[in-house]
Structure 1
Amino acid sequence: MVRTRGAHRGGSSSSHAEAFEQKPRQRPTASIRRRGKGHHRESGPSSHGEAGSSTSHGEAGPSSSTPIDIHEEQENIIHHEEVVAGQDHDVLGGFPGGPEDTSLLTGFANHVACAIWDGQDRVDMKLVSHGKKLKRFGVCHAVVKPFVQNSGLMPLCDIIYEYPDKGLIQAFVERWHRETDNFHLPFGEMTVTLDDIFVLLHLPIVGGLLSNEALDFDVALECVIDLLGVELSKASSELNHFRGPHSASSINVSYLNMFADLQSCGRFAWGTIALTHLYEQLSDASLAHTKQLVGYLTLLQSWIYEHFPGLGRKQVLDNYDEQRPRATHYVTPRLNCTLVEVRAQLDALT
């Protein structure tokens, strides 16, 4: 007698359907298939078996002499399609040397690490940092200093690295994954935390959050004139340029409105805001097509110095005051690390 797929000898197909429904279905992931625990195709009797039981591929086929449970057959068909689709995804989505199960790192095909494993050269990333220019401003003027202190941002005036370490930062960017907001390293995963922000920069991590809403042209124009002291004609020209296709060279004036009342700036959790911004910039920079990394790179660089003492060519100050932010413990030299050098150091970590 011909046996339908999965049916028990001597048992009814309806009882098997109930057992099939009660048994939890395993997701057909690549790891389960490699362990042999997935649902595999079952071969029916061979062509040399019982008469009339074989198909052209040697699988069991339906017969009018055996009742077939329609619900069971539909479940088998759906599940078989899932396994086949999972196999195709495993072939196309699995990456040699990288993740084999892409159910978590869903955007890995666009990640810079995928391009590197495929033999492509990494785009020479540009680090947009204005630390050297900010150093030229010097210390706060006596009139301005009270406002800066009330804002909670005073520590940043003394924490500026003139020379961002390009090779060091770029090597860590290659190991950042936007799905997990972590650096994936040989020994596990690490990330920048709020505690790091407070220890490195002494920025407040408790307080209100910013609501960055787009400003109308008239409101933005008023902010630029009143808060920056820019003339009407120049402010209008700059804002029109900002709204155009080449707006990358202009400032985002929506942030200016937050400084309209300098006395209330201290109520914001600037540390939380800085961490969120860093996550966003790292996620963008980890894509293969991204050509630059912007933001407060001193934060990322000081975090690497603090947690990976053997990396980088930083100089450690002997007269460091433990009461000051930890980022001021280091001085960046003009000579940077090479990307190849830092990659080898990261691969050797245990």
Structure 2
Amino acid sequence: MDETSGRRTKCSICKQGGHYRNTCPQNTEIAQQGRRHLEEAGPVDESVLTEQHLHRSSFITTEGYRGVQFIEHGRKLNQWELDHPAVLDLLRQSGFYYISRLRRLQLDQALLGALIERWRRETQTFHFRHGEMTITLQDVAVISGLRVDGAPVTGTTVYPWPDICQALLGVVPDDIRAGQIRLDWIYQQFHHLHLDAPAGLVAATARAYILYQIGCSLFPNPTGYRVHLKWLPLIADFDACGALAWGAAALAYLYRALGSAALKGKVECCCFATLVQIWAWDHLHVGRPTSVGAVADMADCPMGCRYDI
């Protein structure tokens, strides 16, 4: 027990004031409990979590352990502010209007790093002491506004890329490598559009923005400066594009990225990290900012926009 002298409490271990035995640096029992928790980071029964020997939680206490750096090219995406009415109409038609309203966050690497250490790809869930939690299709739809039902996002990667670019973007990039083009080229070529621009250029700009959104955030490339043209045929027709389950595809890509990053030796996770962070704010309430003041501020926005950031 701790001793009370007048109004001052003394630690029963070191006999010093200002703290209790549970926080005493000389309390070896607490230190041993902490070490035991680290040593027992994995499951007691491995019949479900069969990849514990590969999971990063088995190596947290080893020398040279490195955490995971989450990568999302949000700064690139936030610099493109859309205000052309005709482009916004096409984004609505294609299902990308609401996601265009969601600004990307400055990532909380400590929060995301703590989450990845608890992600298990065997169950596609985060494992906490109180149970399991995961990011669902409903979370994707509510936070981002992307469609989660509809036709699957699939296709081929074999196309004559210069011809595809000419037909759908109206211009051929000068640096197509392995079917990929530079994100900076897309931004410089299409970010400024006059109000009296012809319909063909408006459509090309809308496709370019969707491709830019895909390359920066939904399906990002770790290099941070290229996006694959395989997505372009899927956004050729805006009505057909709007019928695709882009939210389900983004979640599947996220699951795969989290599963890979949760393994030992991985040092980066390139994914839709803004979705993960807002989900954590919604469900775990750790380090989240204040919400917007009124419901009116949320008009025509997905719920991921409700934080004052």
Give the TM-score of the pair, scaled to structure 1.
Answer: 0.59
Q: Tell me which amino acid in the other structure corresponds to 2:45.
A: D
Q: Report the secondary structure of 1:192's partner residue.
A: coil
What are the residue-to-residue correspondences of 1:1-350 with 2, within 5 Å? 96-116=40-60, 118-216=61-159, 218=160, 220-231=161-172, 234-236=174-176, 238-239=177-178, 248=223, 250-309=226-285, 311-321=286-296, 324-332=301-309
Displacement of 1:115 in angstroms is: 1.0
Over residues 301-320 of structure 1, what are the superposed CA-to-partner deviations in whole Å (9 max), with x where a residue is unaligned? 111111122x0242322234
Unaligned runs of 5+ in 1: 1-94, 333-350
Which protein has the larger Cα radius of gyration, Structure 1 or Structure 2?
1
Change (3 A) 1:228 1:109: farther
Change (3 A) 1:252 1:132: same
Identity of paired residues, percent?
28
Q: Tell me which amino acid in the other structure corresponds to 1:305.
A: W
Over residues 174-215 of structure 1, what are the superposed CA-to-partner deviations in whole Å (9 max), with x where a residue is unaligned? 100000000000100001111212222222222111114322
Change (3 A) 1:319 1:230: same
Change (3 A) 1:131 1:186: same
Q: Report the secondary structure of 1:180's partner residue.
A: coil
Whole-angstrom distance in 2 between the partners of 1:112 and 1:319: 42
Whole-angstrom distance in 2 between the partners of 1:157 and 1:328: 11
CA contact (8 A) 1:161 1:331 kept: no
Change (3 A) 1:320 1:164: farther
Change (3 A) 1:120 1:223: farther
Give the RMSD, CA atoms, in angstroms. 2.5
Whole-angstrom distance in 2 between the partners of 1:225 and 1:124: 43
Whole-angstrom distance in 1 between the partners of 2:68 and 2:85: 39
Give the TM-score of the pair, scaled to structure 2.
Answer: 0.67
Q: Tell me which amino acid in the other structure corresponds to 1:180.
A: T
Unaligned runs of 5+ in 2: 1-38, 182-220
CA contact (8 A) 1:159 1:298 kept: no
Whole-angstrom distance in 1 between the partners of 2:294 and 2:116: 32
Over residues 264-295 of structure 1, what are the superposed CA-to-partner deviations in whole Å (9 max), with x where a residue is unaligned? 21111222122212111111111122221112
Over residues 227-269 of structure 1, what are the superposed CA-to-partner deviations in whole Å (9 max), with x where a residue is unaligned? 344436x144x33788xxx995532221111112223211112
Aligned residues: 229
Higher relative contact order (CA 8 A, sep 6+): 2
